[in-house]
Structures are given as structure tokens and as C-alpha cells.
Amino acid sequence: MSKLYLVPTPIGNLDDMTFRAVKVLKEVDLILAEDTRTSGKLLKHFEIATQMKSHHMHNEHKMVDRVVQRIESGESVALISDAGTPAISDPGFLLTRACIEKNIEVDCLPGATAFVPALVNSGLPNDKFVFEGFLPVKKGRQTRLKILAEETRTMIFYESPHKLVKTLGHFTEYFGEDRQVSVSRELTKMFEETIRGTAIEVLAYYTNKPPKGEIVIVVGGSK
């Protein structure tokens, strides 16, 4: 049956790939990948020979109509990102919306997403939380931080390693030095670590030990 599949891929440990994900990727007519070189290694590992095309933030607007036409013509298409679930701080939303508008069935498989283990192992309240993804780089960053200073739910952010110290500094400035913070780095990989403490404590740790790898920051809400 022609449809769009959103297929999560491992965020580090290849053992986290599901049997269903492998089955779908072997059976579809086309795989859309954020980076074909990165995904090529994954497909080779699981002996998946399906045709693959590039679909990333720089070409997704141009690709959407063509992909929708292929599905409407009877093909099934799977979308994967470099790691984790498509459309979570990665391409996927535009294509999903376009398919829904055309009454094309969309099937999102369950699987790896970095913020879930980071939230759960942070020890911070997870009955209610808000996913912020990446903060604005320049314009709007200060405004967003001022708004979030009043947020009572646990907050989740993605950040690059070279911007982590700067972002933690902003958290101490706008949220307060005593705000509880948990930083999870390299989840599911060999050098996985989670550092927990107040904003000022975690800032001091990473100021003295520059981080590497993928990073999820979990911040306690305002009391």
C-alpha cells in the first residue's frame, strides 16, 4: 500500500534499531535520508538495498511535491533522519503535512528519540514537560529565555557542544544559578554521560571540561 513511513533510526547504538524499522526500509520503494552517506552505513549494516535519495533542510521545500506525486502514483516512501525520529528538530514536518493534505496515509513508527531518555534519567519532574529543541541562535534568543524563565514545566533543549557553555551561562542569567539542570551527552554511545546539578554547577563542570558529541539539556521548571 502506498504511504509515507516516518522511520526512527538509532541515536548511537545500532542495537536500538527495531525489527519493524528494518522490515519497512527493506520493503518500501524509496528511502529519503537526511545525509545519504550517514544513512548508507546504517543500510549497509542491516543489508537494506532500497533506493535512497537525499532529503534535508536545504532541499525539502523543492522535494515535497515530487515525493507526494510518487506516493500518489502508488509507491511507498520512508523518511529517515541521521539519528532519532524524523521531524523532531529534523526535516519531516513539511512532507508529513503535505501528505495529510493530500489524504495520503502517514505511518510513524515508534523508536529512538534523544530527548526521552535524557528527560527520564534527569531525575526532574516528567509528568509535564515542554520540548524547546534548539534555542534561537541570535534574534529572539533573549526574548525566548525571558518567557521561559516563568515556565513551570520541565524544559528540554538540544544544543551543539561548542555552544553548550554559552547556553548554560544564559540559563544561570535568566533562570537563576540554583535552577536544576541535567545535561546528557552521547546517549547510547560508548562515552555516554549525564551531569546533574544546579545551573552554576553544571556550567562550572563544562567550562573546565569542554564537551563533545550530541547534547540534550533538561531544565527544571520555575517554582
For 161-220, how does the pLDDT look when each residue is reduced to its tens digit (9 = 90+)? Answer: 999 999 999 999 999 999 999 999 999 999 999 999 999 999 999 999 999 999 999 999
Question: What's the CA gap between 94 and 32, in Å, rounded?
Answer: 13
Closest by CA position to 174, among listed 194, 193, 157: 157
pLDDT in tens, 131-161: 999 999 888 999 999 999 999 999 999 999 9
Find out whether 92 and 86 touch, Cβ atoms under 8 Å.
yes
Does 58 score more than 90 pLDDT? no
For the chain, what percent of residues have pLDDT higher than 70?
Answer: 100
Q: Collect all residues with Cβ–Cβ distance below 8 Å to 118 and sequence separation of at least 6.
A: 156, 182, 184, 187, 194, 216, 218
Question: What's the CA gap between 71 and 127, in Å, rounded?
Answer: 38
Q: Collect all residues with Cβ–Cβ distance below 8 Å to 147 and sequence separation of at least 6.
A: none
The CATH code of the domain at 4-108 is: 3.40.1010.10
Q: Collect all residues with Cβ–Cβ distance below 8 Å to 81 and sequence separation of at least 6.
A: 9, 33, 34, 90, 91, 92
Question: What's the CA gap between 5 and 201, in Å, rounded?
Answer: 42
Domain positions in the chain: 4-108, 115-219
Check the CA dihedral 95-96-97-100 and report its sign. Answer: positive
The model's pTM: 0.92
Mean pLDDT of the chain: 95
Check the CA dihedral 18-88-160-172 and report its sign. Answer: negative
pLDDT in tens, 4-56: 999 999 999 999 999 999 999 999 999 999 999 999 999 999 999 999 999 98
What pLDDT is attached to residue 60? 81
The CATH code of the domain at 115-219 is: 3.30.950.10
**Residue 222 neighbours by CB distance under 10 Å:** 14
Q: Where are the beta strands (DSSP E) in the chain?
A: 4-6, 30-33, 52-54, 77-80, 106-108, 129-133, 154-159, 180-185, 193-198, 215-219
Find out whether 129 and 119 touch, Cβ atoms under 8 Å.
yes
